[in-house]
Amino acid sequence: MKPFQKNQPLSEYSTFGIGGKARLFTSVDSIEELQKVLKYCHEYQVPFLVIGKGSNFLFDDQGFDGLVIQNKISFCKFREDGVEVGAWYSFSLLGSQTARKGFSGLEFASGIPGSVGGAVFMNAGACGSEVCNVIEEVVAIDPEGNLHHLKKGDLQFSYRWSCFHENRWVVAAASFRLTRSRDAREKQLSILEKRMKSQPYSEKSCGCVFRNPKEESAGALIERCGLKGAKRGGAEVSTLHANFIINTGGASAEDVRSLAEYVKQQVKEQKGIELEMELRSVVSS
């Protein structure tokens, strides 16, 4: 087990570029190493937070009073009927690689920021497809460091939700069952082109802030409420895609939270619809 680093700025591990310092920090490169760290946390009662590429986290301005574990388990093994991949592996890259090899099922992943572990955790989806449509098995580790192999039926997927939201188990790896298709690459490129044109990829953000309600997409609702360009400090509702909040420079976590609450309030008052946060907000401990 590597020595823990102290007082690491979490802003360096977030696509938002926001966050105070973690009291302790480490990274793990293997399933065995992750098990050891989690066993240590359990034995010595150390609060922990496991992160991937930091594309769906809003870290607190006060940091995290515990151990932040960056899960960097990264491998990719193709099979005849799919792929097995580590939790750190780029979900977007996986989408493009599988399509290039003539596999269909993960085209929608192309352009979605973050890791495979985060995508499984959130049951990430786009263009009518979700992780739950193609997942076969997940290798996970519980807070005591025990290893588990979970089948699709064990994961309790729903819209942007999985069992990992409640049990605090950590995704270490996942396998996806895919099908062969001559059109996979063309479909993947079309999805990527559309996403690049409609989302603020050059800005610091953490993707979509709100879940889509049943009535209408969150972005469309926010735009119809005239909230594009709304600001709180260094945080701004994107003028390209209204369900993104961007860090225009020097934004704090409080700026983002305040702006998100203002957006929720306005949508509720104007449209009678209660938006739910998709962005994961991390408190200091």
**What are the catalytic residues?**
160, 208, 278
Largest Cα span, the chain: 53
Amino acid sitting at position 100: R
Alpha helices in the chain (DSSP H): 31-44, 91-100, 116-122, 164-167, 184-198, 218-224, 253-271
Provide the 3-class DSSP secondary structure of residue 15: coil
Rounded to whole angstroms, the Cα distance separating 23 from 275 reads 33
Cβ contact 208:122 at 8 Å = no
Rounded to whole angstroms, the Cα distance separating 151 from 155 reads 7
Cα dihedral value 73, 77, 81, 87, nearest 10: 10
